Structure formats: C-alpha cells, structure tokens
C-alpha cells in the first residue's frame, strides 16, 4: 500500500532515515530498492505513481536496451526474472551500417562467449516491477509528494515537503529527471547542447523476422534503429531534425511505412504495419558536479545522452550500483554515509565515466553527420578496419555491456 502524506504526522519531523530518494522512475526506484536491500533505511518520494503494467496492453513506445550490467543489477535486486518472463526481447547480434559509405560493423554475443548482448524492454515494465518490489523491501513510499526545499545540517538533510511536512535523512539522492528541480535547488548547473532533433518512435511489423538482432543504420540526418521486441515486431527509434521529425509524424500510415522501408534499406523487407508514432527531443546534458552537501545526483538528473548507443538508462543503473557500493563501504568503515569525502568518491568515479561515455556518443553522432565525400570515405575505412580488429571490437562491446 502506498504511504500518502495523510499517513505522516502533520508538521512534525519524521524520524531520520539513512537515505531519501526523490524520483520514482527506473533509476530512482532501482536506487531505493538497492539501498534498502543493502540494509539502509530508505524512503522514495514521487509525485505520481507509475501506471500498472498490463500484459494485454500495447507495448510501451518507450523501450530501453538493457545491457548485461543492468540485467546483473536487476537480478541482484530480485526483479529481473519477473521482467524477463513478462515481456523482454533478447538480442544476440548487432549490425550497424553507414548509408553513405556502406561500411558495416557486426557484434555477436557468441563470439564474445555470451548468450546475449542485451534485452529490449519497455520502460514502464521495468519501472512497475521495481515499484512493486519496494514495499516488500521496507522502502517507505511517499506518493504523491513534492519536495519544495531542503537544508543540509551537520548530521542530516532536512526536506520540506508540500504542505509543510518535514522529512530528515542522512543523504538526499536526486533521481528526478533531466529537468531535475532538486539539481537547481542545490545550485548545480549543467552544460551541453540541444541536438535540434527528435527521436520518432513506433513499433512496426516487418516482412522478415528481426533475427534477434539490433539493426542500426546511420543516415545523413541521424541514426535509425530497429530493435527486436519479444513479440516479433521491431521498435523504431529514428533520430531526425525537428522539421523532418514533424513531417514524418504527420505522414499517413502508408507513406510512413514506405519511407521507413527506404530509410532502413529494406533490411527486414517491407514494413507492413505500425503503431501510432510519438517523438521526444534529443539533447546532451551533463551536470557540472554530482554532489552537494549530503546530496548526490543519479541518472538523467546527472546526465542526458544521445540515444544512438541506447546507453542512457544503463549509465543510470551503473550510477545506482556505484552509489550502493560506496555507501556500503562507508558504513563498513564506520563513516557517515552523507559525509563529503564519501560522496566525492561516488561523484568522482561516476562523473568521469558518464562524461567519457556521453562525449563519446556525441562524437560518434558528429562523425556520422559528416557528408563531405573525403570524410565519408575516411569514415568508411575506419569502420571497416574496426570490424576486422577483433580484440578492439570486443573491448568496445564489453564497455557497452558494462563488464
């Protein structure tokens, strides 16, 4: 049962918790569950509970490619089997090719001694499964609730909730999304840029099976991905300039199917059916720092990246694992889990890793935007060379997997 503000003593400070996590999306819910399973008294604060996942409903348009590191964390949290058995699309191969040069690179799980490269899963299935596991793990769910402000003190951080209620914790974790109000309240700025693009998403049926393969074609306007769903269809993530995205969204169904077929080089044959389409904006955004006094950032509140590598949520779940392990080590050493030197360790490790990945994805997007014939030719040579260098290709794949 959810705990509402009516269940809390009015205008009285609740007993201090170890950790308060704000934001109940995939990363925030995973953080609350991971910390509670590690023995920290934890509360999760969220403005709106997730909609219940329904196996009979249409597949959510927002999907995530879960890397092995994410699967490992979800398995440690006791939720992966439920997610996998509900509706997860495994993929064992990835084929990436360049529309301009024709150069291609292939990744194969078997050649790397793995069963799978990852799974394509609906965002709301992951979030709902985590949400359902919170109560049994002792997480105090406060929903609906909004944090209006907070003040760090010597031994705790005091949160002011809507309506005047107060909540105290040793550490405040902000996992409240790319627009993160808490990040602003903490005085943490961001840097990055808007790609002036939107990702058009839909689920499509194709003439040929997807062969448990993630297909990605780099086009002059941006990458197109066809990701394998559990039901045999493919999830489309098509990055396009703003005006072109609006045009594609406005196409009638047959025109969209025809244009998507051409854009995908008919790699899976004709596109024969589609769901309604949607789109979301793309940007690169990195927090200037990941910590303040008794405060840390996680997930999209810390970093928003281009979807071409499908790594956004995976980076966030790696933040979760790093924070959990950092706090466990601090507790074992008898340190205050909200102490500045403890949080610096987490912030230093994750900000370095996230920044390198985010800038790498950004560089890749820029390289594939080259249209000069000489640069296209050079890009093609580089891709073909990389595809032949098995040790380097394996290291890239292992890094993406978080291994």
Residue 11: partners with Cβ closer than 8 Å, 6 or more residues away: 164, 165, 166
246-305 tens-digit pLDDT? 999 999 999 999 999 999 999 999 999 999 999 999 999 999 999 999 999 999 999 998
Q: How many domains does the chain divide into?
A: 1
Mean pLDDT value across residues 197-223: 95
Neighbours of 28 (CB within 10 A): 29
pLDDT of residue 2: 44
Query: Ramachandran region of residue 275, left (φ > 0), alpha (ψ -120 to 50) or beta?
Result: beta
Instruction: Report yes or no on 265 lying in a domain.
Output: no
The CATH number for 49's domain is 3.50.50.60
Mean pLDDT value across residues 79-89: 96
The pLDDT confidence band at residue 310, using thresholds 50, 70 and 90, is low
8 Å CB contact between 172 and 182: yes
Instruction: Report yes or no on 330 lying in a domain.
Output: yes
pLDDT of residue 397: 63
**Cα–Cα distance, 256 to 207 (Å, whole number):** 15
Instruction: Report yes or no on 38 lying in a domain.
Output: yes
Q: What percentage of residues in the chain have a pLDDT greater than 90?
A: 73
Instruction: Report yes or no on 132 lying in a domain.
Output: yes
Q: Which two tokens stand for residue 173?
A: 């974790």
pLDDT of residue 387: 66
Instruction: Report yes or no on 22 lying in a domain.
Output: yes
Residue 317's domain comprises 5-57+126-191+284-365
Q: What percentage of residues in the chain have a pLDDT greater than 70?
A: 90
How much is the pTM?
Answer: 0.90
pLDDT of residue 180: 97
Instruction: Report yes or no on 272 lying in a domain.
Output: no
Instruction: Report yes or no on 372 lying in a domain.
Output: no
Residue 10 reports pLDDT greater than 50: no
Q: Which two tokens stand for residue 368?
A: 């594939």
The pLDDT confidence band at residue 40, using thresholds 50, 70 and 90, is very high
356-372 tens-digit pLDDT? 887 777 777 777 776 77
Instruction: Report yes or no on 155 lying in a domain.
Output: yes
Element (H, E) at 242: helix 242-250
């Amino acid at each position: 049962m959810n705990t509402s503000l009516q269940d809390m003593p009015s205008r009285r400070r609740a007993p201090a918790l170890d950790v308060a996590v704000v934001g109940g999306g995939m990363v925030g819910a995973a953080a609350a569950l991971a910390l509670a399973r590690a023995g920290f008294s934890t509360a999760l604060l969220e403005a709106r509970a997730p909609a219940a996942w329904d196996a009979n409903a249409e597949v959510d348009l927002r999907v995530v490619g879960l890397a092995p590191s994410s699967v490992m964390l979800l398995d440690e949290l006791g939720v992966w089997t439920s997610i996998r058995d509900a509706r997860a699309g495994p993929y064992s191969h990835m084929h990436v090719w360049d529309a301009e040069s024709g150069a291609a690179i292939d990744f194969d799980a078997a050649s790397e001694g793995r069963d799978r490269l990852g799974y394509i899963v609906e965002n709301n299935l992951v979030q709902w499964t985590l949400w359902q596991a919170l109560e049994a793990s002792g997480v105090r769910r406060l929903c609906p609730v909004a944090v209006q402000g907070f003040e760090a003190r010597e031994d705790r951080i005091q949160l002011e909730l809507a309506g005047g209620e107060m909540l105290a914790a040793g550490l405040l974790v902000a996992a409240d999304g790319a627009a993160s109000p808490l990040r602003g309240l903490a005085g943490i700025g961001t840097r990055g840029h808007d790609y002036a693009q939107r990702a058009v998403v839909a689920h499509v049926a194709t003439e040929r099976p997807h062969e448990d393969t993630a297909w990605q074609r780099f086009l002059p306007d941006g990458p197109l991905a066809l990701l394998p769903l559990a039901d045999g269809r493919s999830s489309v993530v098509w990055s396009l300039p703003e005006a072109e995205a609006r045009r594609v969204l406005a196409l009638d169904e047959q025109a969209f199917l025809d244009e998507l077929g051409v854009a995908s080089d008919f790699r899976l044959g004709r596109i024969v059916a589609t769901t309604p389409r949607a789109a979301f904006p793309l940007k690169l955004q990195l927090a200037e720092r990941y910590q303040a006094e008794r405060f840390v950032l996680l997930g999209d509140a810390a970093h928003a990246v281009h979807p071409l590598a499908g790594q956004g949520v995976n980076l966030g779940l790696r933040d979760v694992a790093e924070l959990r392990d950092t706090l466990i080590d601090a507790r074992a050493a008898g340190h205050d889990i909200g102490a500045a030197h403890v949080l610096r360790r987490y912030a230093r490790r994750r900000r370095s890793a996230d920044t390198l990945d985010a800038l790498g994805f950004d560089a890749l997007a820029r390289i594939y935007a080259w249209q000069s014939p000489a640069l296209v030719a050079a890009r093609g040579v580089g891709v073909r060379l990389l595809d032949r260098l098995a040790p380097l290709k394996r290291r890239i794949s292992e890094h993406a997997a978080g291994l």
